[in-house]
Amino acid sequence: METNTPAAEKTGFGSKIGFILAAAGSAVGLGNIWRFPYLAAKYGGGIFLLIYLILAVTFGFSLMITEIAIGRRTGKSVIGAYESISKKFSPLCWLAAFVPVIITPYYCVIGGWVLKYLVTFVKGAGSSAAGDGSFFTGFIGGASEPAVYFLLFLLATAAVVMLGVEKGIERISKFMMPLLVLLTLGIAVYTLTLDGAAAGLRYYLLPNFSGFTFPMLLKTVAAAMGQLFYSMSLAMGIMVTYGSYMRKEDSLEQSVRQIEIFDTGIAILAGLIIVPAVFVFSGGDASALNAGPSLMFITLPNVFSTMAGGQIVGAVFFILVALAAMTSSISLMETVVSIIMEKFRLRRIPACLITVLVCLLLGMLSVLGYSAWSNVKLIGMQFLDFFDFISNNIMMPVVALLTCILIGWVVKPKYVEEEVLASQKSFRARMLLSVMLRYVCPVCMVIILLTPFVTDI
Ligand code: PFF
Protein backbone atom coordinates (compact mmCIF):
# COMPACT_ATOMS: atom_id res chain seq x y z
CA MET A 1 0.00 0.00 0.00
CA GLU A 2 2.72 2.49 1.01
CA THR A 3 4.27 4.43 -1.84
CA ASN A 4 7.04 6.94 -1.70
CA THR A 5 4.92 10.07 -1.93
CA PRO A 6 4.58 12.10 1.25
CA ALA A 7 0.79 12.00 0.97
CA ALA A 8 0.97 8.23 1.35
CA GLU A 9 2.42 8.78 4.84
CA LYS A 10 -1.04 9.77 6.01
CA THR A 11 -2.01 6.98 8.36
CA GLY A 12 -4.71 6.82 10.98
CA PHE A 13 -5.80 5.43 14.32
CA GLY A 14 -5.82 1.65 14.35
CA SER A 15 -8.76 1.25 16.72
CA LYS A 16 -11.85 3.03 18.01
CA ILE A 17 -10.57 3.06 21.56
CA GLY A 18 -7.27 4.48 20.32
CA PHE A 19 -9.11 7.37 18.69
CA ILE A 20 -11.30 8.01 21.74
CA LEU A 21 -8.38 7.98 24.16
CA ALA A 22 -6.29 10.27 21.94
CA ALA A 23 -9.15 12.75 21.49
CA ALA A 24 -9.98 12.59 25.21
CA GLY A 25 -6.27 13.10 25.89
CA SER A 26 -6.41 16.27 23.86
CA ALA A 27 -9.49 17.50 25.66
CA VAL A 28 -8.30 16.65 29.18
CA GLY A 29 -5.64 19.23 29.92
CA LEU A 30 -4.70 22.14 32.12
CA GLY A 31 -8.20 23.54 31.53
CA ASN A 32 -9.77 20.65 33.43
CA ILE A 33 -7.44 21.04 36.37
CA TRP A 34 -6.82 24.74 36.87
CA ARG A 35 -9.94 26.27 35.39
CA PHE A 36 -12.94 24.00 35.90
CA PRO A 37 -12.81 23.55 39.72
CA TYR A 38 -12.36 27.27 40.21
CA LEU A 39 -15.26 28.22 37.92
CA ALA A 40 -17.52 25.62 39.52
CA ALA A 41 -16.74 26.95 42.98
CA LYS A 42 -17.18 30.56 41.88
CA TYR A 43 -20.48 30.14 40.04
CA GLY A 44 -22.71 28.45 42.57
CA GLY A 45 -21.25 24.93 42.76
CA GLY A 46 -23.94 22.48 41.69
CA ILE A 47 -25.67 25.13 39.55
CA PHE A 48 -22.55 25.49 37.42
CA LEU A 49 -22.14 21.72 37.18
CA LEU A 50 -25.72 21.29 36.02
CA ILE A 51 -25.51 24.07 33.43
CA TYR A 52 -22.16 22.73 32.24
CA LEU A 53 -23.56 19.22 31.78
CA ILE A 54 -26.57 20.48 29.82
CA LEU A 55 -24.32 22.57 27.57
CA ALA A 56 -21.89 19.67 27.10
CA VAL A 57 -24.54 17.33 25.69
CA THR A 58 -26.02 20.02 23.40
CA PHE A 59 -23.61 22.82 22.44
CA GLY A 60 -20.34 20.93 23.03
CA PHE A 61 -21.63 17.77 21.38
CA SER A 62 -22.72 19.62 18.23
CA LEU A 63 -19.47 21.50 17.75
CA MET A 64 -17.33 18.46 18.43
CA ILE A 65 -19.21 16.07 16.14
CA THR A 66 -19.13 18.74 13.41
CA GLU A 67 -15.35 19.16 13.60
CA ILE A 68 -14.66 15.41 13.69
CA ALA A 69 -17.08 14.83 10.78
CA ILE A 70 -15.38 17.55 8.71
CA GLY A 71 -12.01 15.88 9.34
CA ARG A 72 -13.21 12.36 8.60
CA ARG A 73 -15.20 13.33 5.51
CA THR A 74 -12.37 15.30 3.89
CA GLY A 75 -9.48 13.24 5.27
CA LYS A 76 -7.40 16.41 5.32
CA SER A 77 -5.56 18.73 7.69
CA VAL A 78 -7.52 21.72 8.95
CA ILE A 79 -6.51 23.98 6.04
CA GLY A 80 -7.20 21.39 3.35
CA ALA A 81 -10.46 20.39 5.03
CA TYR A 82 -12.06 23.85 5.14
CA GLU A 83 -10.68 24.68 1.67
CA SER A 84 -12.27 21.64 0.15
CA ILE A 85 -15.66 22.54 1.62
CA SER A 86 -15.71 26.11 0.34
CA LYS A 87 -13.06 28.22 -1.35
CA LYS A 88 -14.86 31.35 -0.17
CA PHE A 89 -14.02 30.41 3.40
CA SER A 90 -10.26 30.36 2.88
CA PRO A 91 -9.64 33.05 5.56
CA LEU A 92 -11.25 30.56 7.96
CA CYS A 93 -8.65 27.94 6.96
CA TRP A 94 -5.77 30.20 7.80
CA LEU A 95 -7.28 31.49 10.99
CA ALA A 96 -8.00 27.94 12.15
CA ALA A 97 -4.45 26.92 11.27
CA PHE A 98 -2.93 29.79 13.22
CA VAL A 99 -4.67 28.89 16.47
CA PRO A 100 -2.53 25.79 17.21
CA VAL A 101 0.58 27.60 15.92
CA ILE A 102 0.05 30.22 18.62
CA ILE A 103 -1.08 27.89 21.40
CA THR A 104 1.42 25.01 21.09
CA PRO A 105 4.52 27.04 22.08
CA TYR A 106 3.07 28.65 25.19
CA TYR A 107 1.28 25.45 26.22
CA CYS A 108 4.72 23.76 26.17
CA VAL A 109 6.15 26.59 28.28
CA ILE A 110 3.50 25.89 30.94
CA GLY A 111 4.17 22.16 30.47
CA GLY A 112 7.78 22.95 31.37
CA TRP A 113 6.64 24.62 34.61
CA VAL A 114 4.68 21.46 35.45
CA LEU A 115 7.81 19.36 34.82
CA LYS A 116 9.83 21.57 37.17
CA TYR A 117 7.27 21.02 39.97
CA LEU A 118 7.11 17.32 39.17
CA VAL A 119 10.89 17.04 39.57
CA THR A 120 10.81 19.16 42.77
CA PHE A 121 8.14 16.96 44.41
CA VAL A 122 9.62 13.66 43.23
CA LYS A 123 12.98 14.73 44.73
CA GLY A 124 11.15 15.24 48.03
CA ALA A 125 11.71 19.01 47.99
CA GLY A 126 8.03 19.92 47.58
CA SER A 127 7.99 22.02 50.75
CA SER A 128 10.43 24.46 49.12
CA ALA A 129 7.65 25.30 46.65
CA ALA A 130 5.32 26.33 49.49
CA GLY A 131 5.20 29.87 50.85
CA ASP A 132 4.36 33.25 49.42
CA GLY A 133 4.94 32.32 45.78
CA SER A 134 8.56 33.40 45.62
CA PHE A 135 9.58 29.87 44.54
CA PHE A 136 7.36 30.20 41.49
CA THR A 137 8.23 33.79 40.58
CA GLY A 138 11.91 33.04 41.20
CA PHE A 139 11.73 30.04 38.87
CA ILE A 140 9.89 31.66 35.95
CA GLY A 141 12.00 34.81 36.35
CA GLY A 142 15.21 32.78 36.12
CA ALA A 143 17.61 33.03 33.21
CA SER A 144 17.93 29.48 31.94
CA GLU A 145 15.90 27.00 34.02
CA PRO A 146 12.45 27.76 32.51
CA ALA A 147 13.98 27.54 29.02
CA VAL A 148 15.49 24.13 29.78
CA TYR A 149 12.21 22.72 31.13
CA PHE A 150 10.32 24.20 28.18
CA LEU A 151 12.76 22.53 25.79
CA LEU A 152 12.38 19.20 27.59
CA PHE A 153 8.60 19.31 27.39
CA LEU A 154 8.68 20.41 23.75
CA LEU A 155 11.10 17.63 22.75
CA ALA A 156 9.11 14.98 24.63
CA THR A 157 5.97 16.10 22.78
CA ALA A 158 7.83 16.11 19.44
CA ALA A 159 9.24 12.62 20.06
CA VAL A 160 5.71 11.19 20.29
CA VAL A 161 4.46 13.13 17.26
CA MET A 162 7.46 11.99 15.21
CA LEU A 163 6.52 8.36 15.79
CA GLY A 164 3.27 8.96 13.93
CA VAL A 165 -0.43 8.61 14.64
CA GLU A 166 -0.71 4.91 15.40
CA LYS A 167 2.75 4.14 16.75
CA GLY A 168 3.16 7.42 18.64
CA ILE A 169 -0.06 9.22 19.56
CA GLU A 170 -2.36 6.19 19.83
CA ARG A 171 0.11 4.07 21.75
CA ILE A 172 1.03 6.75 24.26
CA SER A 173 -2.64 7.72 24.79
CA LYS A 174 -3.57 4.10 25.51
CA PHE A 175 -0.96 4.10 28.25
CA MET A 176 -1.27 7.63 29.62
CA MET A 177 -5.04 8.05 29.78
CA PRO A 178 -5.87 5.01 31.96
CA LEU A 179 -2.96 5.99 34.22
CA LEU A 180 -4.30 9.52 34.46
CA VAL A 181 -7.74 8.25 35.48
CA LEU A 182 -6.24 5.97 38.14
CA LEU A 183 -4.07 8.70 39.64
CA THR A 184 -6.94 11.20 39.65
CA LEU A 185 -9.24 8.72 41.36
CA GLY A 186 -6.55 7.84 43.88
CA ILE A 187 -5.88 11.42 44.99
CA ALA A 188 -9.60 12.30 44.97
CA VAL A 189 -10.33 9.44 47.37
CA TYR A 190 -7.45 10.53 49.59
CA THR A 191 -8.31 14.24 49.77
CA LEU A 192 -11.97 13.45 50.44
CA THR A 193 -11.01 11.55 53.57
CA LEU A 194 -9.22 14.56 55.09
CA ASP A 195 -10.79 16.20 58.13
CA GLY A 196 -12.98 19.09 57.04
CA ALA A 197 -13.20 17.94 53.41
CA ALA A 198 -16.96 17.39 53.66
CA ALA A 199 -17.63 21.14 53.89
CA GLY A 200 -15.60 21.69 50.72
CA LEU A 201 -17.43 18.88 49.01
CA ARG A 202 -20.79 20.42 49.88
CA TYR A 203 -19.62 23.82 48.65
CA TYR A 204 -18.50 22.25 45.37
CA LEU A 205 -21.41 19.96 44.61
CA LEU A 206 -24.55 21.45 46.16
CA PRO A 207 -26.28 24.25 44.26
CA ASN A 208 -25.92 27.50 46.13
CA PHE A 209 -28.92 29.70 45.33
CA SER A 210 -28.28 32.36 47.95
CA GLY A 211 -27.63 35.63 46.15
CA PHE A 212 -28.00 33.86 42.81
CA THR A 213 -29.62 36.54 40.67
CA PHE A 214 -30.65 36.54 37.01
CA PRO A 215 -27.51 38.41 35.85
CA MET A 216 -25.51 35.85 37.82
CA LEU A 217 -27.28 33.07 35.92
CA LEU A 218 -26.35 34.68 32.60
CA LYS A 219 -22.75 35.00 33.72
CA THR A 220 -22.73 31.36 34.81
CA VAL A 221 -24.04 30.21 31.43
CA ALA A 222 -21.44 32.34 29.64
CA ALA A 223 -18.64 31.05 31.87
CA ALA A 224 -19.73 27.44 31.41
CA MET A 225 -19.86 27.94 27.65
CA GLY A 226 -16.39 29.44 27.50
CA GLN A 227 -14.99 26.66 29.64
CA LEU A 228 -16.63 23.95 27.56
CA PHE A 229 -15.18 25.36 24.42
CA TYR A 230 -11.69 25.52 25.91
CA SER A 231 -11.89 22.17 27.60
CA MET A 232 -13.12 20.20 24.60
CA SER A 233 -10.26 21.47 22.39
CA LEU A 234 -12.71 23.02 19.94
CA ALA A 235 -11.94 25.56 17.20
CA MET A 236 -8.23 24.91 17.18
CA GLY A 237 -8.17 22.39 14.34
CA ILE A 238 -7.41 19.47 16.65
CA MET A 239 -10.69 17.63 16.29
CA VAL A 240 -10.66 18.13 12.50
CA THR A 241 -7.14 16.65 12.38
CA TYR A 242 -7.93 13.71 14.66
CA GLY A 243 -11.18 13.19 12.73
CA SER A 244 -9.16 12.82 9.53
CA TYR A 245 -7.39 9.85 11.14
CA MET A 246 -10.58 8.20 12.40
CA ARG A 247 -11.73 4.92 10.88
CA LYS A 248 -14.79 5.15 8.63
CA GLU A 249 -16.51 2.22 10.33
CA ASP A 250 -16.55 3.67 13.88
CA SER A 251 -19.64 5.46 15.17
CA LEU A 252 -19.11 9.20 15.37
CA GLU A 253 -22.02 9.86 17.70
CA GLN A 254 -20.97 7.27 20.23
CA SER A 255 -17.31 8.31 20.07
CA VAL A 256 -18.13 11.97 20.75
CA ARG A 257 -20.33 11.00 23.72
CA GLN A 258 -17.48 8.94 25.16
CA ILE A 259 -14.91 11.73 24.70
CA GLU A 260 -17.30 14.10 26.47
CA ILE A 261 -17.83 11.71 29.37
CA PHE A 262 -14.06 11.39 29.75
CA ASP A 263 -13.39 15.12 29.62
CA THR A 264 -16.23 16.12 31.95
CA GLY A 265 -15.54 13.22 34.32
CA ILE A 266 -11.90 14.24 34.79
CA ALA A 267 -12.88 17.90 35.26
CA ILE A 268 -15.39 16.98 37.99
CA LEU A 269 -12.84 14.68 39.64
CA ALA A 270 -10.20 17.42 39.56
CA GLY A 271 -12.70 19.58 41.43
CA LEU A 272 -13.18 16.78 43.97
CA ILE A 273 -9.44 16.94 44.62
CA ILE A 274 -8.89 20.66 44.58
CA VAL A 275 -11.96 22.25 46.20
CA PRO A 276 -12.05 20.14 49.41
CA ALA A 277 -8.23 20.23 49.73
CA VAL A 278 -8.10 24.02 49.47
CA PHE A 279 -11.04 24.22 51.89
CA VAL A 280 -9.25 22.13 54.49
CA PHE A 281 -6.08 24.18 54.05
CA SER A 282 -7.79 27.57 54.29
CA GLY A 283 -10.13 26.60 57.14
CA GLY A 284 -13.20 26.92 54.90
CA ASP A 285 -12.30 30.17 53.16
CA ALA A 286 -13.60 29.83 49.58
CA SER A 287 -11.68 32.89 48.42
CA ALA A 288 -8.44 30.89 48.78
CA LEU A 289 -9.50 29.12 45.62
CA ASN A 290 -8.07 31.00 42.67
CA ALA A 291 -7.60 30.05 39.04
CA GLY A 292 -4.78 29.64 36.60
CA PRO A 293 -1.08 29.35 37.35
CA SER A 294 -1.29 30.67 40.91
CA LEU A 295 -3.71 27.87 41.92
CA MET A 296 -1.45 25.18 40.59
CA PHE A 297 1.96 26.61 41.34
CA ILE A 298 1.41 28.56 44.56
CA THR A 299 -1.80 27.56 46.38
CA LEU A 300 -1.61 23.80 45.84
CA PRO A 301 2.06 23.41 46.94
CA ASN A 302 1.00 25.20 50.16
CA VAL A 303 -1.93 22.81 50.53
CA PHE A 304 0.35 19.80 50.00
CA SER A 305 2.89 21.10 52.50
CA THR A 306 0.30 21.06 55.30
CA MET A 307 -1.34 17.76 54.32
CA ALA A 308 -0.33 14.44 55.84
CA GLY A 309 1.53 12.59 53.08
CA GLY A 310 1.53 15.82 51.08
CA GLN A 311 4.91 15.11 49.45
CA ILE A 312 3.59 11.95 47.85
CA VAL A 313 0.20 13.44 47.00
CA GLY A 314 1.99 16.43 45.43
CA ALA A 315 4.28 14.22 43.37
CA VAL A 316 1.37 12.10 42.13
CA PHE A 317 -0.65 15.24 41.42
CA PHE A 318 2.07 16.79 39.26
CA ILE A 319 2.55 13.48 37.43
CA LEU A 320 -1.13 13.52 36.53
CA VAL A 321 -1.01 17.17 35.46
CA ALA A 322 2.05 16.42 33.31
CA LEU A 323 0.18 13.52 31.65
CA ALA A 324 -2.85 15.71 31.00
CA ALA A 325 -0.73 18.55 29.58
CA MET A 326 1.38 16.20 27.46
CA THR A 327 -1.55 14.50 25.69
CA SER A 328 -2.98 17.96 24.92
CA SER A 329 0.30 19.36 23.61
CA ILE A 330 0.72 16.26 21.43
CA SER A 331 -2.64 16.97 19.78
CA LEU A 332 -1.79 20.64 19.31
CA MET A 333 1.56 19.80 17.71
CA GLU A 334 0.07 17.08 15.52
CA THR A 335 -2.38 19.64 14.13
CA VAL A 336 0.48 21.92 13.07
CA VAL A 337 2.53 19.01 11.71
CA SER A 338 -0.39 17.72 9.64
CA ILE A 339 -0.79 21.16 8.04
CA ILE A 340 2.91 21.41 7.18
CA MET A 341 2.99 17.85 5.80
CA GLU A 342 0.02 18.53 3.56
CA LYS A 343 0.75 22.08 2.45
CA PHE A 344 4.47 21.63 1.78
CA ARG A 345 4.24 17.95 0.83
CA LEU A 346 6.81 17.08 3.45
CA ARG A 347 7.35 13.88 5.34
CA ARG A 348 6.55 13.64 9.05
CA ILE A 349 10.08 14.04 10.44
CA PRO A 350 11.02 17.23 8.53
CA ALA A 351 7.55 18.65 9.25
CA CYS A 352 8.09 17.93 12.96
CA LEU A 353 11.49 19.58 12.92
CA ILE A 354 10.07 22.74 11.35
CA THR A 355 7.29 22.76 13.95
CA VAL A 356 9.77 22.38 16.80
CA LEU A 357 11.79 25.29 15.45
CA VAL A 358 8.74 27.55 15.19
CA CYS A 359 7.63 26.50 18.70
CA LEU A 360 11.07 27.19 20.02
CA LEU A 361 11.12 30.71 18.65
CA LEU A 362 7.59 31.61 19.76
CA GLY A 363 7.89 29.76 23.07
CA MET A 364 11.09 31.60 23.96
CA LEU A 365 9.14 34.86 23.72
CA SER A 366 6.83 33.55 26.46
CA VAL A 367 9.80 32.35 28.53
CA LEU A 368 11.65 35.66 28.21
CA GLY A 369 8.45 37.57 28.90
CA TYR A 370 8.86 36.63 32.58
CA SER A 371 12.59 37.35 32.78
CA ALA A 372 14.82 39.41 30.49
CA TRP A 373 11.95 40.97 28.54
CA SER A 374 9.50 41.39 31.39
CA ASN A 375 9.11 45.08 30.58
CA VAL A 376 7.94 44.33 27.01
CA LYS A 377 4.16 44.43 26.90
CA LEU A 378 1.68 43.78 24.08
CA ILE A 379 -1.62 45.58 24.69
CA GLY A 380 -0.58 45.66 28.32
CA MET A 381 0.14 41.93 28.53
CA GLN A 382 3.17 39.71 28.79
CA PHE A 383 3.82 37.51 25.74
CA LEU A 384 2.25 34.37 27.23
CA ASP A 385 -0.90 36.19 28.34
CA PHE A 386 -1.10 37.92 24.99
CA PHE A 387 -0.90 34.62 23.04
CA ASP A 388 -3.48 33.10 25.37
CA PHE A 389 -5.78 36.10 24.99
CA ILE A 390 -5.76 36.39 21.19
CA SER A 391 -6.16 32.65 20.67
CA ASN A 392 -8.79 31.89 23.30
CA ASN A 393 -10.78 35.10 23.40
CA ILE A 394 -10.69 36.16 19.78
CA MET A 395 -9.49 33.60 17.24
CA MET A 396 -11.21 30.48 18.61
CA PRO A 397 -14.71 31.99 18.93
CA VAL A 398 -14.35 33.48 15.42
CA VAL A 399 -13.27 30.10 13.98
CA ALA A 400 -16.23 28.40 15.68
CA LEU A 401 -18.66 31.08 14.50
CA LEU A 402 -17.46 30.79 10.88
CA THR A 403 -17.61 26.99 11.12
CA CYS A 404 -21.25 27.22 12.25
CA ILE A 405 -22.06 29.56 9.35
CA LEU A 406 -20.25 27.33 6.86
CA ILE A 407 -21.83 24.08 7.99
CA GLY A 408 -25.16 25.43 9.30
CA TRP A 409 -26.00 27.76 6.42
CA VAL A 410 -23.71 27.21 3.41
CA VAL A 411 -23.39 23.44 3.02
CA LYS A 412 -26.16 22.73 5.57
CA PRO A 413 -26.05 20.28 8.51
CA LYS A 414 -26.68 17.38 6.13
CA TYR A 415 -22.92 17.59 5.44
CA VAL A 416 -22.32 16.30 8.98
CA GLU A 417 -25.36 13.98 8.97
CA GLU A 418 -24.14 12.14 5.88
CA GLU A 419 -20.77 11.54 7.48
CA VAL A 420 -22.40 10.33 10.71
CA LEU A 421 -24.64 7.97 8.75
CA ALA A 422 -21.63 6.49 6.97
CA SER A 423 -20.93 4.50 10.13
CA GLN A 424 -24.31 4.06 11.83
CA LYS A 425 -27.89 3.29 10.79
CA SER A 426 -29.62 6.27 12.35
CA PHE A 427 -28.58 9.60 13.84
CA ARG A 428 -30.53 10.31 16.98
CA ALA A 429 -29.24 13.84 17.49
CA ARG A 430 -30.01 14.99 13.92
CA MET A 431 -32.50 17.70 14.87
CA LEU A 432 -30.44 18.83 17.83
CA LEU A 433 -27.39 19.25 15.61
CA SER A 434 -29.29 21.30 13.07
CA VAL A 435 -30.83 23.68 15.62
CA MET A 436 -27.54 24.02 17.46
CA LEU A 437 -25.40 24.69 14.39
CA ARG A 438 -27.78 27.11 12.73
CA TYR A 439 -29.11 29.10 15.66
CA VAL A 440 -27.84 28.36 19.15
CA CYS A 441 -24.08 27.95 18.59
CA PRO A 442 -23.67 31.12 16.49
CA VAL A 443 -25.48 33.15 19.16
CA CYS A 444 -23.33 31.52 21.86
CA MET A 445 -20.17 32.42 19.93
CA VAL A 446 -21.20 36.03 19.65
CA ILE A 447 -21.88 36.06 23.41
CA ILE A 448 -18.45 34.56 24.11
CA LEU A 449 -16.82 37.14 21.84
CA LEU A 450 -18.65 40.01 23.47
CA THR A 451 -18.16 39.01 27.08
CA PRO A 452 -14.46 39.07 27.89
CA PHE A 453 -15.35 38.46 31.54
CA VAL A 454 -16.11 34.86 30.58
CA THR A 455 -12.49 34.02 30.17
CA ASP A 456 -11.22 36.71 32.47
CA ILE A 457 -10.33 34.35 35.30
N1 PFF B 1 -8.45 21.10 26.08
C2 PFF B 1 -7.14 21.19 26.62
C3 PFF B 1 -7.19 21.82 28.00
O4 PFF B 1 -8.27 21.90 28.56
O5 PFF B 1 -6.17 22.20 28.54
C6 PFF B 1 -6.22 21.77 25.63
C7 PFF B 1 -6.20 23.25 25.38
C8 PFF B 1 -7.25 24.09 25.49
C9 PFF B 1 -5.06 23.77 25.04
C10 PFF B 1 -7.14 25.45 25.23
C11 PFF B 1 -4.92 25.11 24.81
C12 PFF B 1 -5.99 25.95 24.90
F13 PFF B 1 -5.84 27.23 24.66
- Model-level pTM? 0.94
Query: Any idea what the Cα angle at residue 344 is, between residues 338 and 349, rounded to 5°?
Result: 55
The whole-angstrom separation of Cα 177 and Cα 183 is 10
H-only helix segments in 123-170:
134-140, 145-162
Of 9, 2, 16, nearest in space to 246 by CA: 16
Average pLDDT, the chain: 93
The two counts, helices (H) then strands (E), for the chain are 23, 0
For the cut 50, the answer to whether the pLDDT of residue 401 exceeds it is yes
- Which sequence spans correspond to the domains of the chain? 7-454
Of 408, 44, 372, 359, nearest in space to 216 by CA: 44
H-only helix segments in 232-292:
238-244, 252-282
- Kindly report the protein residue whose alpha carbon is nearest to atom 10 of ligand 1: 230
**66 in Cβ contact with 433 (< 8 Å):** yes
- Which residues does ligand 1 sit against, CB inside 6 Å? 27, 29-32, 103, 107, 230-231, 233, 328, 391-392
Q: What is the pLDDT of residues 116-161, one digit of tens each?
A: 999 999 999 999 999 999 999 999 999 899 999 999 999 999 999 9
For the cut 80, the answer to whether the pLDDT of residue 392 exceeds it is yes
Measure the CA dihedral 260/23/151/140, to 10°. Answer: -10
Q: Is the dihedral of CA 41, 46, 47, 53 positive or negative?
A: positive
pLDDT of residue 359: 98
CA of 412 to the centre of ligand 1 (A): 28
Q: Ligand 1, residues 35, 328, 331, 366: which to mutate, most atoms within 8 A of Cβ? A: 328
Distances (CA, A) of 101 to 26, 240, 355: 15, 15, 9
pLDDT of residue 291: 77
Q: Ligand 1, residues 26, 28, 30, 35: which to mutate, most atoms within 8 A of Cβ? A: 30
User: Could you tell me where the beta strands, DSSP code E, fall in 307-416?
Assistant: none
pLDDT of residue 1: 36
Of 73, 31, 8, nearest in space to 236 by CA: 31
The whole-angstrom separation of Cα 196 and Cα 85 is 56
pLDDT of residue 452: 63
- Kindly report the protein residue whose alpha carbon is nearest to atom 5 of ligand 1: 29
**How would residue 202 be classed by pLDDT, with cut points 50, 70 and 90?**
very high
Find the mean pLDDT for residues 51-72: 97
Asked if the 7-454 domain carries CATH number 1.20.1740, the reply is yes
Q: What is the pLDDT of residues 341-385, one digit of tens each?
A: 999 999 999 999 999 999 999 999 999 999 999 999 999 999 999
CA of 44 to the centre of ligand 1 (A): 24
Find the mean pLDDT for residues 282-289: 83
CA of 4 to the centre of ligand 1 (A): 35
For the cut 50, the answer to whether the pLDDT of residue 455 exceeds it is no
pLDDT of residue 211: 78
Which SS3 state, helix, strand or coil, does residue 375 take?
coil
The whole-angstrom separation of Cα 238 and Cα 233 is 7
The whole-angstrom separation of Cα 24 and Cα 28 is 6
Measure the CA dihedral 154/157/158/162, to 10°. Answer: 180
For the cut 90, the answer to whether the pLDDT of residue 15 exceeds it is yes
pLDDT of residue 453: 52
Q: Ligand 1, residues 26, 28, 231: which to mutate, most atoms within 8 A of Cβ? A: 231
**How would residue 10 be classed by pLDDT, with cut points 50, 70 and 90?**
low
Instruction: State which ligand 1 atom lies nearest to the alpha carbon of 328.
Output: 6
CA of 453 to the centre of ligand 1 (A): 18
CA of 418 to the centre of ligand 1 (A): 29
For the cut 90, the answer to whether the pLDDT of residue 293 exceeds it is no
Kindly write down the DSSP assignment for every residue of 3-18, as one continuous string: -SSGGGG----SSHHH
**How would residue 78 be classed by pLDDT, with cut points 50, 70 and 90?**
very high
pLDDT of residue 2: 36
CA of 28 to the centre of ligand 1 (A): 8
> In this structure, what are the phi and psi dihedrals at residue 297, rounded to the nearest 5 degrees?
-105, -10
Find the mean pLDDT for residues 430-453: 90
Find the mean pLDDT for residues 225-241: 93
Residue 109: which residues within 8 A CB-CB, separation 6 or more? 146, 150, 153, 363, 366, 367, 384
Q: How many residues does the chain have?
A: 457
Instruction: State which ligand 1 atom lies nearest to the alpha carbon of 325.
Output: 5
Instruction: State which ligand 1 atom lies nearest to the alpha carbon of 331.
Output: 6
Structural Rg of the chain based on CA atoms: 21
Q: Ligand 1, residues 67, 107, 242, 296: which to mutate, most atoms within 8 A of Cβ? A: 107
**How would residue 337 be classed by pLDDT, with cut points 50, 70 and 90?**
very high
For the cut 60, the answer to whether the pLDDT of residue 296 exceeds it is yes
Kindly write down the DSSP assignment for every residue of 284-321, as one continuous string: S-GGG---THHIIIIIHHHHHHHSTTHHHHHHHHHHHH
**How would residue 289 be classed by pLDDT, with cut points 50, 70 and 90?**
confident
Instruction: State which ligand 1 atom lies nearest to the alpha carbon of 32.
Output: 4
